[in-house]
Amino acid sequence: MNKRGWHAGFLLGMAGLTGCTLKPVDSFTLEVDLPAQFELKTAANYGPATGETCTLPRRRGKRPERKVFFTEYKAVASRVSYELPLSERVEGCPLVLRSVEFGFTAKWGVRSTDVGLDSGVIGIRDRLEGNMPGMPDSGVQELRGECHWLFRTAGSQHAIIKILKCNELDANHQLLQTQPGGIAQRDHLRGRTLRFGMTLSDKELPAISDNWVAVPGGWKRCRGANFEDRYAFCNGDFTHFKPIKMPDGRTCDVYPSCN
């Protein structure tokens, strides 16, 4: 290559590097920490940017303004990661990320029906209000949630079934009454990481109050009017109980220890 050709190639290369350097980042990394035996559906939802007058096209069986991801069950706790754009363009309409929704499905037994469902959502805002915490200097914003199992009985054999309940955790790891998730500011996310950490408590609680009495080893099921009474509220009777059928088929007097 002669000197002139080398010089032209050098300038083109530098122009390419400069273009890469100056190209604005318009995405972020979403990380989700999942407990063992959790399946996850994640949906990133986009809507017209603030001030835009365009409208989304009518749906024809598809939702181009929605990106959906699926994560299968794993036997151990795991972390999944996605690279999500902060803006999109659908048929000429400028869109921005408005929210990220999560659908949790967790196994509590071996049968296909032994699962619980719950959900969470992260709202993506143009700006945060008040003194809401934003992106820290580390470049990783963390949001936390916790799930736990609620147990109840069902059917003529009073078999144990479980319900999944998930809630938001505050900065001090205190359980709130809101669904897991939180709020993030869109322009703070560019090139950064938003981490959504979910845990599963090992403490189970009754799903319905006044059905159970706490005893050593767990809980006893109130008898109610008789053994056939499926609702069986205690109504002040804390001495008469009924046996329950455990998920493994055993008949026991106390859940979960089977004492």
pLDDT tens for 124-180 read 999 988 777 778 889 999 999 999 999 999 999 999 999 999 999 988 889 999 999
| Nearest in space to 253 (alpha carbons), one of 224, 218, 227 | 218
The CA distance from 67 to 22, in Å, is 27
Q: Is the pLDDT of residue 253 over 90?
A: yes
Q: Is the pLDDT of residue 109 over 80?
A: yes
Q: Which amino acid is at 7?
A: H
Q: Is the pLDDT of residue 69 over 80?
A: yes
The CA distance from 86 to 64, in Å, is 14
Percent of the chain with pLDDT over 90: 75
